[in-house]
Amino acid sequence: MAGLRLIYVVIDGVGDLPIDELGGKTPLEAADTPNMDFLAEAGKTGLMYTVGRGIAPESDVAVISILGYDPFKYHTGRGPLEAYGSGITMKDGDLALRCNFATAGPGWRIIDRRVGRSLTTEEASELAEAINENVRLESHPADFIFKNTMGHRGVLVIKGRGIRLSSNITNTDPAYEQVGGLGVVRVGARMVLRRCTPKDDSEASKRAADLINEFIEKSHEILEKHEVNRRRVAEGKLSANIILTRDAGDRVPKFFNICDRYGVRFACLADMPVERGIAKLAGMHLIDIPPPTRGIEADCRLRVDRLIEALPHYDCFYIHLKGPDEPGHDGDFRRKMEVIALIDEHFFGRLLSEIDLRDYIFCVTADHSTPCKLKAHSDDPVPVLISGDKVSADGTTTFSEKECRGGELGVLERGVELMPILMNYLKREL
């Protein structure tokens, strides 16, 4: 395809709710965002329920949906996506789960689901190595691979020796549950480690639950006495002494190839394993980028550089920026506002200075809202803008939840509606 290209930017968790201290504005409304405002003013806006009304989705479910895959049809659990994005192979009948290093106190009370976000990837690697070397599963014939990914995050794959395992089991992470096969937030959940239980009477589910509980108990023993955690406690930091599991899957999803479906060459810039796993399974080319750092300015500039380098070689680009989600989970609305402004300046500002908007279709949206009041994902709709070549303006002046509500795109009831709209705009020039 010659000429026109799609730049599709998903800002993780950027949506929010009005905050009294910000004069009733959301962090997005209150942030200085002249470049996203420019895109909104030049194009059309609206709101979007990324999965559907009443669903507070996890990122994997939402990303699948806004890339055009019905999650109720294609989703097989976050675990396989994390595994695939982390380079771990699995076959049908294996079990994959998303994991968190966390801090547990007496009575298995979860003090912090993310170890205060202070666990370094290097520390997590040492802990993961100790678990892989010292834990042996004995409740059923099975082996496992536990891999830390970034910071407190990890993935667990259990492979039965001559036996199948089923993902029809409960999470041990108290903050999330599965509803209709999709991972959703448990609002107001009691923060206590949950025992994994089978959801049916099959041997495959019972085996899976037994193995998960055994893994958590045995890995806890290793983590409690590990030198990394002893050192952290001596330094006044939280101990990464428990593994939480969620969103099990026992097969890799079979997505249609997005390039073949739409007749385009699609590339992805994303740094988290789950988004990379989704993009890879969708048939996108993965552009290598390093993990994010605390330096948002440098991270944004590097991503713009990689995008500019790749522009001549592909037609469509899916870019996932993690930034605002973490301060949303932490309830830090001022930091969230700051992060949004930095992304606007150093990603969008720099990118727009390097390209001619008339050569592109630009879409900016989010995978979900992460309201600071809730410190969790919510079911609120997210703002969406479409701008660029021959996209007429609808009178929107800023990119925000409130302003986009009146845009010509209206309210998209499901995220799967967005990709066909973008392809229609893109292919007007074919």
Give residue 19's pLDDT band: very low, low, confident or very high (50, 70, 90). Answer: very high
Asked if pLDDT for residue 1 goes beyond 70, the answer is: no
Q: What is the pLDDT of residue 177?
A: 84
pTM exceeds cut of 0.95: no
d(CA 172, CA 267): 35
CB 377 within 8 A of CB 370: yes
Q: What percentage of residues in the chain have a pLDDT greater than 90?
A: 87
H or E element, residue 166: none
The rounded distance, in Å, linking the Cα atoms of 28 and 47 is: 14
Which amino acid, residue 219? S
Residue type for 258, please? Answer: I
Name the pairing type of β-strands 360-365 and 5-11.
parallel
Rounded CA-CA distance 160/165 in Å is 7
391, amino acid identity: V
Residue that is written with structure tokens 């895109």 in the block: 39
DSSP 8-class letter at 376 = S
pLDDT, tens digit, 9 for 90 and up, residues 115-132: 999 999 999 999 999 999
**Residues 6 or more apart from 388 whose CB is under 8 A from it?**
42, 43, 357, 358, 359, 360, 361, 362, 425
3-state SS record for 214-281: HHHHHHHHHHHCCHHHHHHHHCCCCCCCEEEEEEEECCCCCCCCHHHHHCCCEEEECCCHHHHHHHHH
Place 182 in a pLDDT band, splitting at 50, 70 and 90: confident
Query: Average pLDDT in the 153-161 region?
Result: 97
Residues of the chain above pLDDT 70, percent = 98
Give the tens place of pLDDT for each residue, 54-111. 988 888 999 999 999 999 999 888 999 999 999 999 999 999 999 999 999 999 999 9
pLDDT of residue 234: 97
pLDDT for the residue numbered 129: 98
**Residue 36 in this model has a pLDDT that exceeds 60:** yes
Asked whether 290 and 296 are in contact (CB, 8 A), the reply is no
- The upper half-sphere exposure of residue 95, i.e. CA atoms within 13 Å in the direction of its Cβ, equals 30
CB neighbour list of residue 296: distance below 8 Å, 6 or more residues apart: 323, 339, 342, 343, 346
What lies within 8 Å, CB to CB, of 409 at 6+ separation is 44, 45, 46, 47, 384, 386, 394, 421
In one-letter notation, the amino acid at residue 212 is I
